[in-house]
Amino acid sequence: MYGIVALEDGTVFEGESFGAAGESVGEVVFNTSMTGYQEVLTDPSYSSQIITMTYPLIGNYGVNEKDVESTRIQVAGFVVKEACPYPSNFASHTSLGEYLRKAGIVGVSGIDTRALTRHIRLAGAMKAVIYAGPHCKPDDLVDKAKAWKGLVGIDMVKNVTCQESYRWDESRDPVEGFEKKYSVVAYDFGIKHNILRILRRLGCDLTVVPASTSAQEVLSLNPDGVFLSNGPGDPAGVPYAVEAIKGLMGKKPMFGICLGHQLLSLALGGSTYKLKFGHRGANHPVKNLLNDEIAITSQNHGFCASMDSLQGCGVRVTHLNLNDNTVEGIGDFEQGLFSVQYHPEASPGPHDSAYLFENFVRMIAENAQ
């Protein structure tokens, strides 16, 4: 079956379908990870994005029931050079193509992903339509891409957050010998399951709350700490979350990741901006300015906190991206808060920055004394 990716600037890439038939509009971006495609597909931070994998062969180890970061596939579409139809792995229960078909997600293979990635790097991430079905007029798809509203200034979090609070407990995540040490409220801006798994294994009793939860509602739960999760889109489109964070700063120890980091930056008085093509992959070098150590990190974001805007906000820039010198972490340790732009919970990896969760729990312990 025919497949096509049509960009708003008129560039068209033709291939063949290996997922569901249909069409979807979104922002076309690229990810440089060699593995972890199932985690990518189910990461809520990728909502409304058409993902291009730069690694040429995708799907060779199939799909299993455990390597998911949410309850469903979140991406708008999936683009690869070659999709493996016959996976080989002891844990695999289906192929990548069948996984996409059952979820109704369009996948296109046979695309020159090197050319598409280079185009995005030069021209920037842009609006696009991914289509699978009978042959059609590419110009019609280009027009649909142009007409899409895009992500800037739009609240994408409302599409992925939970509708009501819930406990991440034994029924969801069995942990042998679990011993509650602290209670943590986790804001769900598009939270990944592995974040919750790690915090629970560190002894945190977790209550996950919707993105619209007010500071007063969180404080009424009297948690020992507050976690600000990852999520999709433009942080400027989620002003209600910024207001809630302002009401919690200095009252409870706080740790943010990805979108949570950007929202915390806004709450502190900083600003954010859209990167040309974003950071997405599992090989981004980040320098810890507190100890001069360098970690290889997993990243997935299209917006970034402004370095200049954070000057005078009473916050310290703690981490720096060594590829482009953008902000990767901030901290105000007097108020008991810190955040990072990258993903220390990364699954399948790397795990260089997993210590940040331990730092959060240590901060909670010190605050409780």
Q: Which residues are part of the catalytic machinery?
A: 258, 343, 345
Helix, strand, coil abundance in the chain, percent, nearest 5: 25, 30, 45
Q: Angle CA(52)–CA(233)–CA(246) in degrees, nearest 5?
A: 150
Which sign, positive or negative, has the C-alpha torsion 171, 173, 178, 182?
negative
Which H helix or E strand runs over 245?
Answer: helix 239-248
Element (DSSP H or E) covering residue 143 = helix 138-147
CA angle 352, 54, 34 (to 5 degrees): 40
Return the SS3 of 286. strand
HSE on the CB side for 236, CA within 13 Å? 13
- Residues 314 and 332 sit within 8 Å (Cβ to Cβ): yes
Evaluate whether 82 touches 57 at the Cβ level (below 8 Å): yes
Preceding omega of 239 cis (within 30 degrees of 0)? no
Residue whose C-alpha is closest to residue 346's, from 47, 92, 66, 36: 36
**DSSP summary character for residue 235:** G
